[in-house]
Amino acid sequence: MKKHKRSSRDWLSTLTVMGRILLFVLVILLAVCSCTSPKGTASEGKGFAIYLLTQGIPVSEMPIVSHLDLADEPLVSLKNIVSYSRETHEIELTAQAYQRLLELEVPTNGKVFVVCVDHQPVYWGAFWAIYSSMSFDGVTILTPLFPDRHTIRLELGYPSESFYSGEDPRPNPDIMQSLQQAGKLR
């Protein structure tokens, strides 16, 4: 009988060791899974990206907003950019990304966007309808008009640069470095 009890103890001891190994493997798997981003989230927002906001904050209220809730996915990410001109801030987009911008509803008083690097806001601006009679002292992207061109431009002020005051945020070093590393900067 003692032999039987001893083998039971050995079995329990083995079970305990196996349980510890199993627990260790589960902890490692959970850690690895929590570090990877699901498709369509932060992995698409790595580097330079343009986001919309989750809430519809009017352009006129942006200067007093202290917290920005960015959309889960960028409207434009590095994977959507064919090239970015350092001198003109013109962005050549993929056809799919350009189509999203063609379908974007932009009121005459603008629609807020935020330029980010690695999901961190760098500066904000507004999509602006070319037929708007309102002026804007900020960075703009005019609503696309030509479905076959596939380019947009980050511009200062609307209807012209003379309506813009302040420093130009577009050549931000973090933005330029992100675009350079991705091979998009020309």
Domain residue limits, the chain? 1-36, 42-181
Give pLDDT, residue 5: 53
Q: What is the C-alpha separation between 180 and 86, in angstroms, rounded?
A: 10
Give pLDDT, residue 16: 58
* Sheet with 81-84: strands ordered across: 76-77, 48-52, 111-117, 120-128, 136-142, 151-158, 90-93, 81-84
Per-residue pLDDT of the chain (186 residues; tens, 9 = 90+): 555 555 555 544 554 544 444 333 333 333 333 333 333 333 455 899 999 999 889 999 998 877 889 999 999 999 999 999 999 999 999 999 999 999 999 999 999 999 999 999 999 999 999 999 999 999 999 998 888 889 999 999 999 999 999 999 999 999 999 999 999 999
Using the 8-state DSSP alphabet, how is residue 158 labeled? E
- Give the burial class of 173: count Cβ atoms within 10 A of its Cβ; 0-12 exposed, 13-18 middle, 19 or more buried: exposed
Give pLDDT, residue 22: 39
Give pLDDT, residue 45: 56
Give pLDDT, residue 38: 36
Question: How many alpha carbons fall within 13 Å on the CB side of residue 146?
Answer: 7
- The predicted model scores a pTM of 0.75
Give pLDDT, residue 174: 97
Give pLDDT, residue 10: 57
Give pLDDT, residue 35: 32
